[in-house]
Structure 1
Amino acid sequence: MPAPHEDNRPLAERIAAEIRRLIMSGDWEPGRRVPKNEELRKQFKTSNVTIQRALQILKDEQFLDGQPGVGVFVRSKPAQTIIPASYMPPSNPGQPYRWLTEATKRQQSSKYRILEVGAVAPPVEVARALGLNEGDTAMLRSRIGFLDDQPAELVNSYYPMELAQGTRLADRRLIPGGSPALLNGMGFATRSQDDVVSVRSATTDEYVHLEIPRDVPVMEIFRIVYSDDQRPIEVSVLVKPGHRFKMGYHTETP
């Protein structure tokens, strides 16, 4: 019989994990004063040094805010839940991309910055999802989305060349209403999408662009957007900082 799996991480990391869960779940609400070191020391049956190390981990990860001479507090903003279904429908005529309008509803400022637009050899998983043959290229639109001037997502979207060439998808400028509105106007309405969510460590580009603190993981959403007859018209890889966002889904029983 295999030996039981044990948590051999340093005690400070284990304590930080317990407190992080309380913050992410909302049990420790935003702005709450963290118990004094003496209370935490007794609770976790350890030394003051270990407690200080655990709290420093969470400060570095931006879960806690230390105020000299006052105390340590839970960050003022909780993790934000993103509802992917909110962004599926194309924007109404003359309206911005839904990612921007949804932010306005939450009283957040928002913007996108284009990083790269051009024909590329897509990753294998993307090529497979788009039904491309070996050696085929796809149109890449790479961008960063900001909420309240903080980087919120790094997005690489890929489109079949036969759809993208000669359109705003191949233009470095932002698309009025976003790609769903453009594709809808071209006769390729969004009918469904598949999302696969995973968690992993950040690459160097993600670490820099998203300003990832310490070794916080990122969420990756691999999204395939379909039009009529299950034709894939867009594949996006969205990466979000794991300490700032949650994904929300609503499913109804058939």
Structure 2
Amino acid sequence: MAREEDGRPRHQQIAADIRARVMSGDLAPGTRLQTTQQLMSRYNVTNQTVQRALSVLKGEGFLVGRAGVGVYVREERALAIEPASYLRPPAEGEPYPWMSEAVGRGRRGSVRLLEVANVRPPVEVARLWGERVSMRRLLLLLDQEPTELAWIYHPLEIAEGTPLAGRRKIPGGTARVLADLGIPPVEWVDRVTARLPTTEELQLLELPDDVPVLRTLRTVYTDDMRPVEMQVLVKGGHRYELAYRIPYHFKE
């Protein structure tokens, strides 16, 4: 059965076409886009429609405008984040892995603590630990740009009386505390979904309109597959991708 035509407004259809060409490599990083007149002719639309399409793609970070010169494909590719880099606790005195990883990319990472409280958690967390848990809410930044929101949950019997429940940033992150408590993280399971952002996510991450977010539900286990931490991680889907490196073991 033939697919129905794209029912979105024309400027969104044009943005989708240019976006697809950028993602496929047809429009390489640094490529100058056709002029407005050429795009009007290519898509048979008005100047206003072209400008709206370009505005969408600039907001998403696919294109950049250079005054008096033209519009170019952004040279910086989507940032690949490797979740495995954050599994093991850092050595004593070392910074939170987010900051170390940022330095490795030539960038500056920082973490802003937004809230610490005992809360009623999302249903996935409540299934494990009941209706009240300890929560830390963080905003992660790269070069002072909001990058990721993190809600980190622990059962009260683990968190109470430890830095996990304290209202200060934790040197080395929560994995360092869990290791010091004798329950180091040894494995995690990620469930990743995509959806449109909530109002809070849209504002705190400074997202363009209509850009989806990647939501990761992470369950962290210590020995004997005991869950000791759950995380909800939200990042803009337009600028970031998740990279997983998994050893391949083959037996004849």
Corresponding position of 1:31: 30
- The amino acid that maps onto 1:47 is V
**Offset from partner CA, 1:97-121 (integer Å, 9 cap, x none):** 1111111111110111111101111
Selected match of 1:145 from 140, 149, 156 = 140
- The amino acid that maps onto 1:172 is R
> Following the alignment from structure 1 to structure 2, what is the Cα–Cα distance between the partners of residues 117 and 252?
37
* TM-score calculated relative to the size of structure 1: 0.91
Selected match of 1:132 from 119, 129, 133 = 129
Contact 2:60/2:239 (<8 A) preserved: no
Selected match of 2:149 from 146, 151, 154 = 154
2:82 matches 1:83: yes
Give the C-alpha shift of residue 28 in structure 1. 2.9
Corresponding position of 2:238: 243
**Offset from partner CA, 1:37-85 (integer Å, 9 cap, x none):** 34434544x2243433322221233322222321111224221010101
2:172 matches 1:173: no
2:177 matches 1:182: yes
- The amino acid that maps onto 1:19 is I
Give the C-alpha shift of residue 18 in structure 1. 1.9
SS class of match (1:234): strand
CA RMSD of aligned residues (A): 1.8
2:192 matches 1:197: yes
> Following the alignment from structure 2 to structure 1, what is the Cα–Cα distance between the partners of residues 182 and 24?
43
Contact 1:222/1:236 (<8 A) preserved: yes
> Following the alignment from structure 1 to structure 2, what is the Cα–Cα distance between the partners of residues 4 and 27?
24
Which stretch has the larger CA shift, 35-44 or 221-230? 35-44
- The amino acid that maps onto 1:118 is A
* TM-score calculated relative to the size of structure 2: 0.91
Q: Which runs of 5+ in 2 are unaligned?
A: none
> Following the alignment from structure 1 to structure 2, what is the Cα–Cα distance between the partners of residues 180 and 24?
35
SS class of match (1:35): coil
Amino-acid identity (%): 45
Q: Which runs of 5+ in 1 are unaligned?
A: none
Q: Which runs of 4+ in 1 moved over 6 A?
A: none
Which stretch has the larger CA shift, 91-100 or 65-74? 65-74
**Offset from partner CA, 1:164-190 (integer Å, 9 cap, x none):** 000000111111111111101111111
- The amino acid that maps onto 1:132 is W
Compared CA separation, residues 25 and 106, structure 1 to 2 (3 A): farther
